[in-house]
Amino acid sequence: MISQQRLSAAVLVLLATIAIAVPAGPAAAARVEVIDADTTALEVENGKGRLLRFPRRVSTVFLADPGIADVQVKSPTMIYLYGKGVGETTLFGLGSDDALVASMTIRVSHNVRSLEALINHTVAGGEVAVRSFEDSILVSGRVATPAAAASVMELAGRFAAKDKLINRLEVTQPTQVNLRVRMAEVSRSLLERFGVNWQALFNNGSSLLGIATGNPVLSDAGQFLTRQNGVDNIVGAFSSGNVDFNVIFDFLSEEGLVTLLAQPNLTASTGQKAEFLAGGEFPIVVPQDNNFATVVFKEFGVSLEFTPTILDNNRISLHVLPEVSQLSSNGAVEVNGFVIPALTTRRAETRVELASGQSFAIAGLLQETVDNDVRKLPGLGDVPVLGKLFSSERYTRGESELVIVVTPYLVRPVDNPADIRLPVAGSPDALSARPLAGGPSRRSAEPTSLAEAPRQPAPLIGGTEDQRELSRRLAGPIGFILN
């Protein structure tokens, strides 16, 4: 009996031991509570701060990134929060019993209010708004000129890096410049014979003066040119400031004094470079190792580079680089049996500031040439030895000057292509016409003779009265009949 009781007691002890050794199930495990920060963001400008008052006492304050924002504890219920860097972080405040008192997202932005006030005070004539977007600055609004837009972005660059600036500015004035250039070569030997003084021609910035000895041949042009007392010359005195040098060039070209090399018209946006080349390229043989050679090409001719910058009050700053080069046998070299010609180059580079429609001239680029002129009697001049008696040889020295006239214009693109008129607008199209000699076929509704052909040009859309009159004068279907 006693043995049976001892056995029962041993079994009970074993069962109790097994029950203690078995771990608790998952249902008895403790749950972890995740507390996220409030999605409502508290805005703080960089370098500035705000006071936060808690509804109850706080014993602990946590900040995720002290490099963006930091706090100073005034009391258990009030702290001072200030921004240290642009970005976002989170803040938690806990009471003494670990109860959550505050949780929020802190967003530190750029000091855009002071930047916006500085921009609107410095840049006149604009409406600029500045916003902070994450770690970037968004600048939007309207300004008058590209120079004003550049000033705005320069001021914004003091508050953020260049790659953190978002430019959404709109420029209200034209941002494109059309440059009209006339490059002319003037024969100085002929100028000396005619007595033209180029220094006097471009002497005055507000008016155009040209002097040529001789009679006042243009005095009958309706006071267009006036004669000065005591001077035997022609002096062009213009009362208007809008003077076009091209009038003078056209006159000189007709008289054989000037050869127009090129008349490029280029259009470029402000701050962008435009290039022009009228000429060609000639090969240059460059020796290499192992008796090999490569060929590179060198440009020559009439070239132009210019970079416009639109300033305030519709003024234009121009960086102009014109160049005229030509092949020359003087200075040519021979490499591996190949003759490489030399280049004679005349180049100018300048930066000027002027208004739209004003002109400036560059002159003084001289070139001297020597020509050998042989005159002889036909037949007799070719006889050996005795031919010298029937021939003469003369060396002539020539000197030419390169003159460059530059005129910039502020331009806008047009919305309607019909607003752009060709100089022959309103006149018959010669490309689609047929000569009368070929007996062109006609539709029955068309006139059968030139006398019956109406001279009614197409109406000129817009333009001044002078332009409409020019369109009417250009009309004339002489020699052609339109189908």
Burial of 66 (0-12, 13-18, 19+ CB in 10 A): exposed
**Shared domain check, 151 and 93:** no
- Say if residues 256 and 250 touch (Cβ distance below 8 Å): no
* Predicted local confidence at residue 257, as pLDDT: 66
* Predicted local confidence at residue 477, as pLDDT: 39
Query: Within a domain: residue 398?
Result: yes
Domain count, the chain: 4
**Shared domain check, 148 and 133:** yes
**Shared domain check, 292 and 150:** no
Query: Within a domain: residue 166?
Result: yes
**Shared domain check, 297 and 221:** yes
- Characterize the bridge pairing of strands 211-212 and 196-197: antiparallel
**Shared domain check, 448 and 311:** no
Q: Given 389, 411, 433, which residue is the final one in a domain?
A: 411
Lowest average pLDDT, out of 307-321, 324-338, 376-390, goes to 376-390
Q: What percent of the chain has pLDDT over 90?
A: 2
CATH of the domain at 153: 3.30.1340
Summarised one tens digit per residue, pLDDT across range 418-464 is 777 665 566 555 444 444 444 444 444 444 433 344 444 444 444 45
Lowest average pLDDT, out of 153-157, 217-221, 278-282, 307-311, goes to 217-221
* Residue 231 belongs to domain spanning: 178-411
pTM of the predicted structure, to 2 decimals: 0.47
* Predicted local confidence at residue 197, as pLDDT: 53
**Shared domain check, 290 and 325:** yes
**Shared domain check, 222 and 327:** yes
**Shared domain check, 211 and 350:** yes
**Shared domain check, 96 and 244:** no
pLDDT at 359 over 60: yes
Sign of the four-CA dihedral 145, 146, 150, 152: positive
Q: What percent of the chain has pLDDT over 70?
A: 60
pLDDT at 2 over 80: no
**Shared domain check, 123 and 74:** no
Query: Within a domain: residue 15?
Result: no
* Predicted local confidence at residue 393, as pLDDT: 67
Alpha carbon 257 to its chain's center: 36
Q: Given 135, 158, 173, which residue is the final one in a domain?
A: 173
Summarised one tens digit per residue, pLDDT across range 39-77 is 778 888 888 889 999 988 998 888 888 889 999 988 989
Quick one: pLDDT band at residue 301, thresholds 50, 70, 90?
confident
Query: Within a domain: residue 469?
Result: yes
Which comes out higher in pLDDT, residue 50 or 330? 50
**Shared domain check, 243 and 391:** yes
Average pLDDT over residues 227-252: 47
Query: Within a domain: residue 34?
Result: no
Q: Given 173, 191, 215, which residue is the final one in a domain?
A: 173
pLDDT at 130 over 70: yes
* Predicted local confidence at residue 136, as pLDDT: 85
* Predicted local confidence at residue 80, as pLDDT: 92
Query: Within a domain: residue 19?
Result: no
**Shared domain check, 125 and 103:** no
- Say if residues 183 and 406 touch (Cβ distance below 8 Å): no
Query: Within a domain: residue 311?
Result: yes
